[in-house]
Amino acid sequence: MDVKDKTILVTGATDGIGRQTALDLARMGAHVLIHGRSKEKGIRVLDELNRETCNEKLALYVADFSSLADVRRMADEIKREQSQLHVLVNNAGSFFKGHELNADGLEMTFVVNHLASFLLTNLLLDLLKESAPARVVTVASGAHRNLKVIDWQNLQGEKSYDEFDAYALSKLASVCTMNELADRLAGSRVTVNTLHPGVIETKLLRMSYNMQGASVEEGAQTSVYLATEPEVEGVTGKYFSHKVEKPISDLAGDPQNRKRFWDISEALTAKYID
């Protein structure tokens, strides 16, 4: 896909895989919308990407994804300022070692890694549909396979909290709801796919598993592939790793789990959707 006249939003684009994804897309000439949590850092990264790519079609949007109200504010800002959105890359994510709640009383891992992207995607759907053919690309994780049972009464760590289970749960929720969205958007010319970026040397990896990984250049490849490659035009509801379609876990493939995660996510974000 020639991206020189395409507008692409990359969340979590001031660090790690997100920054590299934005850099690669900017090098291809796309109009890249860069999201970050810190305005100061976002401005610095924007300047760096401008210098590295000589692409002046870059813009910065700031929002704290632990706040669904902030996600809504950013989505409104994007809709006011952008007439088109051809690709949304849901990349932002984090890892919380302790049980923390946001202002809505929701567990932070579930909010930042899942609900924020779920809400943002739904708020920008009309703009994506108007810009079709369009794509939604969500960075999930192979960690979604680590969860063998879903405790529907403990989604917010109400009974117990394990940081690795919380992370796996948030990624499972993303795979389930994005596959559900792919079905709901059938015929709209908006495709929805998820991916595992690999075990990549990022701040998140150091915070969580404290191990070494592959380069961010490798980590961004599948996101850029799903955002731009003509060969995946029309492909939807799939999960990729290393630019190859892979099977998802049995839990993620269960239609009842997909719908239940969708209904719960919709209820938890309802007050931020018109």
Two tokens at 169? 């749960």
Interatomic CA distance for residues 140 and 222, integer angstroms: 11
- Catalytic member of 61, 161, 167, 272: 167
- At how many degrees (to 10) do helices 163-184 and 116-123 cross? 20
Closest CA to 238 of 104, 138, 158, 101: 138
272 is catalytic: no
Two tokens at 35? 């999201």
Torsion on CA atoms 269, 270, 272, 274, rounded to nearest 10:
150
- Residue 189 DSSP class: T
Q: Could you give the residue numbers annotated as active site?
A: 167
